[in-house]
């Protein structure tokens, strides 16, 4: 109080200080608690969805902890990661259509996986992950630099350009797989599925918790970066460092998920857009919501994927792709109505 009072004395007689009317975006609200319970319920459903009879069989209990629990945890972590990635990219590129699938980031991650297999025969998971992260980082950087130089601000051209870039990278990957006889790798990656998840194969996904915490710490800075370089600089921030940080956060999420699970499309498009329509673009207050909605959405999709052709299952990326396409069109129509598509 004292510094402010002094400041006021210096600059004469300002209008009387208004009563503080804080906009406390309180996290623990009734809807949030309900959402938490909904996600927990979905998690429970996920735990008990499957063909193997975990109650009847003798080793049911073991199977439960070897496959069901890891799968559900993997779903939650991946859902949070991909939704958060989308949110960060929306802010930084100022475009609601941008997410790893529409910027080529995912394809770069795939190429990174492939590079790991080419450089080291029989690479460990950590090597594959590193390859995916490094390539995602480079790929996203290329996309950001491209955006910067061409100054594309039309909301449609940006994702189209990104997808074209992705297609080029993907074509190169395909060529390499054919050339080096590794189509298995890229195929497994392309159809992102949680079916192979089991104890001992998914634990690296916990890295996502660290990324989420860092994102939360830098949430206000990233939101300011979303207001543009000029505003960020005027507020004393280093815009370019923030962009690098955002890029790194995105690359780690996409890379880890690509190496452990595979391609998870459109989650970063669906979730942040829905949250933004209701709650706006403030990253800090939205992050818990985005993570939660991401978890719920992907778990629901995975349950559908497991149930739809029981006793077999389809890859969750198929369900997400379908849902994502629908939401993509919905956003397009909405923006057109409000005249924001130029």
Partner 1 sequence: MITLQNVRKTYGGEVRIGPLNIEIPKAGITSLIGPNGAGKSTMLLMIGRLLKMDEGRIRVANMDIARSKSNDIAKILTILRQENHFITRLTVRQLVGFGRFPYSKGRLTKEDEAIISKYIDFFGLTDLEHRFLDELSGGQRQRAYVAMVLCQETEYVLLDEPLNNLDIARAVQMMEHLRRAADELGRTIVVVLHDINFAARYSDRICAMKNGQIAAFGTVDEIMRPDLLTDIFETRIEIIDGPYGKLAVY
Establish if 146 lies at the interface with partner 1 (CB under 8 A): no
Candidate segments 1-9, 42-50, 199-207, 261-269, binder of partner 1 by CB under 8 A: 1-9
Q: How far is the CB of 227 from partner 1 (least distance, A)?
A: 6
**Among 1, 30, 51, 309, interactor with partner 1 by CB under 8 A:** 1
Establish if 272 lies at the interface with partner 1 (CB under 8 A): no
Establish if 224 lies at the interface with partner 1 (CB under 8 A): yes
Establish if 325 lies at the interface with partner 1 (CB under 8 A): no
Establish if 336 lies at the interface with partner 1 (CB under 8 A): no
Residue 235: C-alpha distances to residues 221, 227, 230, 239, 274 (Å): 10, 11, 9, 10, 29
Q: How far apart are CA 202 and CA 70, in angstroms?
A: 7
Residue 58 tokens, joined: 């003798």
Candidate segments 51-59, 218-226, 307-315, 319-327, binder of partner 1 by CB under 8 A: 218-226
Establish if 309 lies at the interface with partner 1 (CB under 8 A): no
Q: How far is the CB of 150 from partner 1 (least distance, A)?
A: 16
Specify the residue for token string 């209008």: 15
Establish if 230 lies at the interface with partner 1 (CB under 8 A): yes
Q: How far is the CB of 18 from partner 1 (least distance, A)?
A: 4
Which x/- pattern over 88-117 shows residues binding partner 1 (rule: CB under 8 A)? ------x-----------------------
Q: Which CB atom, from 238 or from 336, has the smaller least distance to partner 1? A: 238
Question: Contacts with partner 1: how many residues (CB under 8 A)?
Answer: 41
Candidate segments 156-164, 248-256, 273-281, 310-318, binder of partner 1 by CB under 8 A: 273-281
Establish if 236 lies at the interface with partner 1 (CB under 8 A): yes
Q: How far is the CB of 127 from partner 1 (least distance, A)?
A: 37
Q: How far is the CB of 279 from partner 1 (least distance, A)?
A: 8
**Among 20, 56, 121, 122, interactor with partner 1 by CB under 8 A:** 20
Establish if 7 lies at the interface with partner 1 (CB under 8 A): yes
Interface residue list for partner 1 (CB under 8 A): 1, 4, 7, 10-15, 17-23, 94, 153, 219-221, 223-224, 226-231, 233-238, 276, 280-282, 284, 340
């Amino acid at each position: 109080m004292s510094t402010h009072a002094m400041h006021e004395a210096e600059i004469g007689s300002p209008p009387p200080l208004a009563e503080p009317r804080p906009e406390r975006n309180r996290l623990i609200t009734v809807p949030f608690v309900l959402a938490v319970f909904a996600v927990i319920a979905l998690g429970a459903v996920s735990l008990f969805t499957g063909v193997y009879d975990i109650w009847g069989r003798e080793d049911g209990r073991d199977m439960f902890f070897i496959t069901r629990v890891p799968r559900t945890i993997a779903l939650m972590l991946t859902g949070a990661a991909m939704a958060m990635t989308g949110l960060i990219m929306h802010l930084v590129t100022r475009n609601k259509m941008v997410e790893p699938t529409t910027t080529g980031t995912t394809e770069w991650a795939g190429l990174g996986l492939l590079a790991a297999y080419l450089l080291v025969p029989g690479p460990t998971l950590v090597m594959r992950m590193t390859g995916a992260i490094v390539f995602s980082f480079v790929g996203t950087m290329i996309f950001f630099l491209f955006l910067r130089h061409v100054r594309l601000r039309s909301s449609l051209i940006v994702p189209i350009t990104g997808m074209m870039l992705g297609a080029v990278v993907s074509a190169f990957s395909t060529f390499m797989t054919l050339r080096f006889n590794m189509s298995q790798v890229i195929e497994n990656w392309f159809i992102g599925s949680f079916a192979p998840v089991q104890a001992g194969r998914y634990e690296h996904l916990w890295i996502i918790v660290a990324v989420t915490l860092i994102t939360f710490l830098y949430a206000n800075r990233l939101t300011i970066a979303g207001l543009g370089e000029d505003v960020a600089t005027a507020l004393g921030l280093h815009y370019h460092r923030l962009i690098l940080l955002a890029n790194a956060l995105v690359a780690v999420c996409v890379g880890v998920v690509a190496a452990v699970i595979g391609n998870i499309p459109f989650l970063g498009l669906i979730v942040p857009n829905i949250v933004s329509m209701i709650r706006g673009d403030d990253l800090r207050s939205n992050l818990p919501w985005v993570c939660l909605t991401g978890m719920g959405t992907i778990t629901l999709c995975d349950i559908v994927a497991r149930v739809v052709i029981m006793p077999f299952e389809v890859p969750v990326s198929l369900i997400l792709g379908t849902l994502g396409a629908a939401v993509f069109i919905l956003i397009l129509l909405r923006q057109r109505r409000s005249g924001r598509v130029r």
